[in-house]
Amino acid sequence: MEVRKERPPTTVVIVGAGRGGTALLQILLRDASTHILGVVDKNPDAPGMALARQHGIPTAKRAESFLRNPDRHVDILIDVTGNEEVRRHLQAIKQPSTRMIGGAAAKFVWALIEAYRTNEVLQEEVATLKATLSDTPGEELIFGHNPAMQQVREMVMQVAPTPATVLITGETGTGKELIARTIQQLSPLRDRPFLKINCTAFTPHLLESELFGYKKGAFTGALKDKPGLLEKGHGGTIFLDEIGDITPEMQVKMLRFLQFGEIRPVGGTETRIVEARIIAATNRDLEAMIREGKFRADLYYRLNAFSIHLPPLRARKEDLPLLAYHFLKQAEIRLNKKVGSISRAAMSCLMQYDYPGNLRELQSIIERAVILCRGQQIEPEHLPHNLQTRDENWKLEEGLARARARMVAQFELQAIQYYLREAGGNVSKAAMLARMPRRSFYRLMEKYGIKKSDYAS
């Protein structure tokens, strides 16, 4: 009889012992396959800290107590504080092998707990949460604070548990595949295959063979039967990227598959039934293509059962610092090089650029900067030249601001001197002539070192 080796429990540290951290702790306490190494909060009287102590779980004010313990490895670090400074600090001190869930991801997990907390089938839901925590790459859940991206997060939460077909739209590089993977990881199909194909990477004939498979002898080189991507993805999730670029003939075949689940290999005569969830993505305006006769309306309506639109990076600039630091930490790990931070001037350059390549371009820019940086901080000279010139614009704007400030100061000085002369050095009368409070007039006099005695008549 085969003896299965029992897996060691997953070790977890929770940072933040407020409402969210306490609820998460309550859930994980009931799961024997999870070992909570500790709970961290600067407030020792936080409800989660009290609950942890009741169960004999160590508590601390700082995460270093657990993350720098050589005797115990932390598998998962969960930050539910929502504090960006805390998140960056934890990213800096954790081991590369420790998975971290924080920011929007922690809020997402908290939403799942809220949704399932009244469910009596607790063990099944704990397994769902653990799969989410351990299997979902952190970069897939960087939604940020932009209202449009918060709406995307809510839509992902709503559609993930369902079998609905999803159409993700947005410019190149906005993270459409990451959203598709997040949906799959948070769905009941998370343990089933996730197969992807870029429809622009193949000629029309090869694309048909890749998707539907082929029979032996169907064409030169077809030496044996080969199942297609759709058949391989039976029971799982299939991601069709750049769906807007397929030919009219392929559109007909895809429509039949979406309608009836039928596939027919190239060179074959028999159809097969495949059940799989379809997530499609495109950077094209499919509605405009329908009007131009380039895309089938019936296929569009099948694909568009649930649509999610990703805004370009230029429309969510408030998230850029968060994303830049996220990509910085990724690059540090990938390149095995510690940089640490981005200077104010460099961040100004990054903020002024429009990113036609969106997240992918920002990630490449940050990785290039990490390679070029020899110190502990990314500076403008580490950025591409077209971004450095924007720093000159920033300096020009700063210079104009200083010039405006000098002009205002000169005007204030001349005005104070004028009114004091008119009032013969009487500050109360001068303030009345200037139509401003006496105290404010005095402050301006002190600011410019003016004495009323110099104007006494």
In angstroms, the CA 328 to CA 338 distance is 9
Query: Phi and psi (nearest 5°) for 372?
Result: -80, -25
Q: What angle do CA 19, 186, 326 make, to 5 degrees?
A: 70
* pLDDT for the residue 51: 92
CATH number of 159-311: 3.40.50.300
CATH number of 10-135: 3.40.50.720
Query: Phi and psi (nearest 5°) for 410?
Result: -65, -40
* pLDDT for the residue 4: 42
Give me 318's structure tokens: 């408030």
Q: Is the Cβ–Cβ distance between 307 and 282 less than 8 Å? A: no
In angstroms, the CA 328 to CA 108 distance is 23
Angle between the 104-116 and 122-135 helix axes, to the nearest 10 degrees?
170
Residue with tokens 């010039």: 403
Tens of pLDDT, residues 290-335: 999 999 999 999 999 999 999 999 999 888 888 898 899 889 988 9
Report the candidate in 206, 181, 193 with the shortest Cα–Cα distance to residue 232.
193
Same fold, 10-135 and 405-455: no
pTM value?
0.56
Q: Which amino acid is at 46?
A: A
* pLDDT for the residue 118: 36
In angstroms, the CA 15 to CA 78 distance is 6
- Domain spanning 405-455, CATH class: mainly alpha
Beta strands in 296-356 (DSSP E): 306-309, 341-342
CATH number of 316-383: 1.10.8.60
* pLDDT for the residue 318: 87
Domain limits, the chain: 10-135, 159-311, 316-383, 405-455
In angstroms, the CA 357 to CA 423 distance is 63
Tens of pLDDT, residues 106-138: 544 544 444 444 333 334 444 444 444 444 444
Residues of the chain with pLDDT under 50: 1-5, 103-104, 107-108, 110-140, 393, 396
In angstroms, the CA 222 to CA 448 distance is 89
Q: Is the Cβ–Cβ distance between 332 and 358 less than 8 Å? A: no
